[in-house]
Structures are given as C-alpha cells and as structure tokens.
A and B are shown apart, each in its own frame.
Chain A
Amino acid sequence: MPLDQSFVGRTYPPTAPYQVGREKIREFATAIGAADLAYHDPEAARALGHPDVVAPPTFPIVLTMAASRQIIDDPAIGVDYSRVVHGDQRFAYTRPVVAGDELVCANTIEAISSRGGHDFLTTRTDVTTVAGEPVVAVWSKLVVRGEA
C-alpha cells in the first residue's frame, strides 16, 4: 500500500541533545581517511577560528540517521524498513559542526510520492544547538521498494 501523502508536513518533537565529542569526530574522520589536522587536533582547528576539532561534511549523519528512527518507527506512517534504500542525501550548512556542540534534531516529513510501485519519503532534519542556533539542515530521501 502506498505511503499516505497526508503525512507531508508532519513534524516531530526535537530529539534529546547529542553531545559532539572530540574523540567521536576523530574516530569518524579516521574511518573515512580524512587526515586534515583540523579534524584531529584542537590547535589546528583553533588556528582556523574554530573552538575545537571540526567534523567532516557528512558527520551529521551520525545524529540524523539515529533521529530518523522517529519517522521510520512511526506506526502511523508504516515504513517497512527492510525495504528501504537510501535515495538522496544533502547537507546545507550554516556553520561546521565542532566538538563540544550540543545538538538537537527536529524532523519534518517534506515530501511523499509514489512511482513505479516504489514510495519516496523525503525528510528534513534541522540540526540546531540546544540554544536554537541553526547549524546544518539535512535532507534524506528514502526509497521504500515495492513488493515485486
């Protein structure tokens, strides 16, 4: 059954704050082979004007993927996660994520469509500091494959 388009515009309560740790940024940067010192060394990051190590551009997926469980697990929408594949991904930055940030994610369902037996669910996650300062807006399009 196609996803119900009346859920477009649905918003979710902000997630619990995520404390961005210096070691988590280092671990992520190491896993993707990103060797720039500003990802690893607070002094190098400070030299660029940041308070602590900087996260690589796709780091926010660590938070937003966990936050998206709100939508995927929402029984009203009824996404079959075993049929989900990742379609599109986008990050639009106000400023880079840095160690020490305390971030919350606010999810919105931005679009739902169906084509060729597949459903397409576009979510926007506004990532802000606990004080409400915008950091990065993150869009994910999930494809829920139809039953063949």
Chain B
Amino acid sequence: MELPTKTFRVTRADLVQYAGASGDFNPIHWSDRFATGVGLPGVIAHGMFTMALVGRAVSEWAGAPDAVVDYGVRFTRPVVVPDDDDGTEVEVTAKVKDTTEEGLTRLDIIATCRGEKVLSQARAVIRTPR
C-alpha cells in the first residue's frame, strides 16, 4: 500500500528556527559564504531537519504523535535551500512493507527534493494505526 505524498516547503527562515531549537549552529545551514567555501552549492538544510519533516509525515500517516517505534535514514544528497521567499520543497512518500502480529507496521520511505532522492534506507516501524 502506498501512502499519500506529503510536501514540505523549506525556507532559510525554517533553517534558522531549526538551528535555534536543535542547537545545531553549523554555518553550512545559514551562511552561503561558509557553505560555498567548503564546496557546497549553497546553504543546505540540516539532515536532521529533513529527517524531522519525514518523521512528521510518518507520525501523520500513523495518526498518532507517539506511534514511531524505530526510525532510521541515510543522508545521501543535500537539500539546497536558496535565499528567497520560496525556498525549496521536500516530498515524502512511503510504502507499507508489512504488518506484524505484534501490532507493528514497517514503512519504506522515499524523500526527494527537485526530483532527486535525498535519503536512502529510510525506514520506520510504527504502531499499526487502528
């Protein structure tokens, strides 16, 4: 079963807010000068911000804020966030892999930005929605 796609807009302001909330002030997430200086195309989102947005999608699919039992991802490509009002978008979809008798459901997740996968091996185990 395929779950409905969720789209998240990501702007520079979101990255600043996430930096403050998470305590991750690495300048690659807010300074173009620093980001390009280390060879990035520009400011990129925190991998953990992308993971948090995908976690939101998973929790919303599960229909419960506390449904996630296990959640892991590999960061494969940066989410580049331009310095404009539109920012960029992360699209998230998932397939239900299986449901166990213990009441757990395993999801295989796909997250893309501009048509390219930004995560691989993205998997979650949730309590099966009732």
Taking Cβ atoms with an 8 Å cutoff, the residues of A that contact B are 27-28, 30-34, 36, 38-39, 48, 50, 54, 56-58, 61-62, 65-66, 82, 85-93, 96, 139, 141
Contact = CB atoms under 8 A, between A and B. Distances in A.
Give chain A's interface secondary structure class: mixed
Given A34-B56, A86-B75, A93-B68, A58 B51 contact: yes
Interface of B: 8, 14, 17-18, 20-24, 38, 47-49, 51-53, 55-56, 58-59, 64-66, 68-75, 121
B17 A90 contact: no
A28 B58 CA distance: 17
Contacts of A58: 48, 51-52, 55, 71
Contact of A90 (B18, B49, B65, B70): B70
Nearest to A137: B70
A50 B47 contact: no
B53 A48 contact: no
Given A36-B59, A54-B65, A89-B75, 17 more contacts: A28-B21, A30-B21, A32-B52, A48-B64, A48-B66, A50-B66, A57-B71, A58-B52, A61-B24, A62-B23, A65-B22, A82-B38, A85-B75, A90-B72, A91-B70, A91-B72, A141-B74
Nearest to A66: B23
Nearest to A25: B21
Contact of B65 (A38, A66, A92): A38
B22 A61 contact: yes
A31 B8 CA distance: 13
B117 to A, nearest CB: 15
A56 B21 contact: no
A31 B75 contact: no
A33 B55 CA distance: 11
Contacts of A33: 8, 53, 56
A31 B10 CA distance: 11
